[in-house]
């Protein structure tokens, strides 16, 4: 079985990439999704706040997904649901996607190009090294969200949340609305990992305390969680003796980071970034393996789904150009280097020959910055400068890079985020 473009993942990224590839003139597009329905993680995100950039109105997660699903169905884009991709391999110029499902059994699909849109997973308790027993009542925030919103179960009545990522903040509000008492949100870092609007709307509006520079140092309970001990931490993230506080509770929710789902990327030999844990891509969102493209949370964790869709549309368009033979294969690659507070850039390199009139460069900062400035240098020449009143690790920054800025002599492009005073 052969398809021109195979898209792995039927969430917001996969759907937008499929629609974009079809609009770019490729008829033979297949979406493979492991869940029983399309939509990905959006199906359990019943809160609003989606679609402000894309549709200029506020939608819930399922409403946002539905718009893309309807469009994909209008275009009659085929999709396999309840189908898990178990391997991705490259032989010669062809890519082979191995997947399994109850309906079709084991299938090997040959693809002209593959778009990786698998999203990300939550970091589990095992990665945190929290001492204590292993009773019932410890959930990742995403699991709790699924239980409440899709299954109709309330995980617990008295809740402590570790980590202030967006899912943790949203679940603080959700659990409160369902009648549970959220005792506090503890965050290891001296700043929140979530969007400012979520801190206001989910914590401040409900009087839920946010304890920065705090972590859970012990979990009590045999059969079920009976309480946790939290403590303040120093600049090296070590608990400070004497700051311990016992909080009785029956549930601990973990919102301690998201990890891009890249097992398939590793299987095919894609180079991964040590900072994002996602593939290294060029301006076409193409990975180190020709014909394999990546977008959305599998590439780097986004703060807004609108940006996932935007990025995925680009990946779909470039994948279409690849199978149609319209892309410049050769071309000089200029590396992009983050500096100052900028932790990484996506893309990691760009080719003046292949890029369009403009390319979006996205990045995150590693610390809170007030009165900041974002600058882009071509070698030592200043190409772009813009003041930013606030930059936070929880919010993604972007620069629209124009091809006309390049002279053709650049050896590297530096993206710098720093305090304005540091000039």
Is the peptide bond preceding residue 12 cis, with omega within 30 degrees of 0?
no
The reported pLDDT for the residue numbered 24 is 95
Strand (E) or helix (H) holding 141: helix 141-146
Classify 181 as helix, strand or coil: strand
The reported pLDDT for the residue numbered 423 is 46
Question: Are the beta carbons of 350 and 359 closer than 8 angstroms?
Answer: yes
The reported pLDDT for the residue numbered 328 is 67
Structural domains present in the chain: 1-122+258-327 (3.50.50.60), 124-256 (3.50.50.60), 332-423 (no CATH)
The reported pLDDT for the residue numbered 326 is 79
Closest CA to 30 of 89, 112, 92: 112
Q: How many whole angstroms separate alpha carbon 312 and alpha carbon 304? A: 13
The reported pLDDT for the residue numbered 92 is 84
- What are 313-371's pLDDT values in tens digits? 999 999 999 999 877 666 788 999 999 999 999 999 998 888 889 999 999 999 999 99
In sequence order, the 6+-apart residues with CB closer than 8 A to the CB of 207 are none
In sequence order, the 6+-apart residues with CB closer than 8 A to the CB of 408 are 352
Strand (E) or helix (H) holding 173: helix 166-177
Residues of the chain with pLDDT under 70: 328-330, 421-423
The reported pLDDT for the residue numbered 330 is 67
């Amino acid at each position: 079985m052969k398809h021109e473009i195979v898209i792995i993942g039927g969430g917001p990224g996969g759907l937008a990439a499929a629609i974009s590839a079809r609009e770019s003139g490729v008829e033979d597009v297949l979406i493979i999704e492991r869940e029983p329905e399309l939509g990905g993680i959006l199906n359990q995100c019943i809160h609003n706040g989606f679609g402000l950039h894309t549709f200029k109105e506020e939608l819930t997660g399922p409403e946002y997904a539905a718009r893309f699903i309807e469009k994909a169905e209008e275009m009659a884009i085929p999709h396999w649901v309840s189908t898990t991709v178990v391997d991705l391999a490259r032989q010669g110029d062809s890519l082979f996607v191995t997947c399994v499902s109850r309906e079709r059994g084991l299938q090997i699909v040959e693809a002209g190009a593959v778009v990786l849109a698998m999203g990300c997973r939550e970091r589990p308790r095992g990665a945190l090294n929290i001492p204590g027993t292993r009773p019932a009542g410890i959930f990742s925030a995403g699991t709790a969200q699924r239980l409440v919103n899709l299954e109709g179960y309330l995980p617990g009545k008295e809740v402590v949340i570790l980590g202030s990522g967006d899912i943790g903040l949203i679940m603080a509000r959700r659990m409160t609305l369902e009648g549970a008492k959220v005792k506090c949100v503890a965050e290891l870092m001296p700043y929140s990992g979530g969007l400012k609007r979520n801190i206001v709307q989910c914590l401040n509006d409900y009087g839920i305390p946010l304890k920065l520079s705090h972590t859970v140092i012990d979990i009590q309970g045999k059969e079920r969680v009976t309480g946790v001990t939290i403590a303040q931490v120093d600049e090296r993230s070590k608990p400070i003796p004497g700051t311990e506080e016992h909080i009785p509770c029956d549930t601990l929710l973990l919102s301690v980071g998201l990890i891009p789902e890249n097992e398939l990327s590793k299987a095919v030999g894609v180079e991964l970034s040590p900072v994002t844990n996602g593939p290294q891509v060029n301006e076409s969102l193409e990975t180190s393996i020709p014909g394999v493209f990546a977008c959305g949370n599998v590439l780097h964790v986004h703060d807004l789904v609108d940006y996932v869709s935007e990025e995925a549309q680009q990946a779909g368009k470039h994948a279409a150009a690849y199978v149609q033979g319209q892309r410049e294969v050769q071309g000089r690659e200029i590396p992009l280097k983050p500096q100052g507070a900028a932790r990484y850039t996506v893309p990691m390199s760009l080719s003046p020959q292949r890029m369009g009139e403009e390319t979006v460069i996205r990045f995150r900062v590693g610390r809170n910055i007030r009165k900041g400035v974002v600058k882009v240098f071509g070698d030592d020449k200043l190409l772009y400068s813009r003041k930013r009143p606030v930059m936070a690790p929880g919010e993604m920054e972007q620069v629209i890079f124009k091809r006309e800025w390049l002279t053709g002599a650049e050896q590297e492009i530096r993206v710098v985020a720093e305090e304005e005073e540091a000039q």
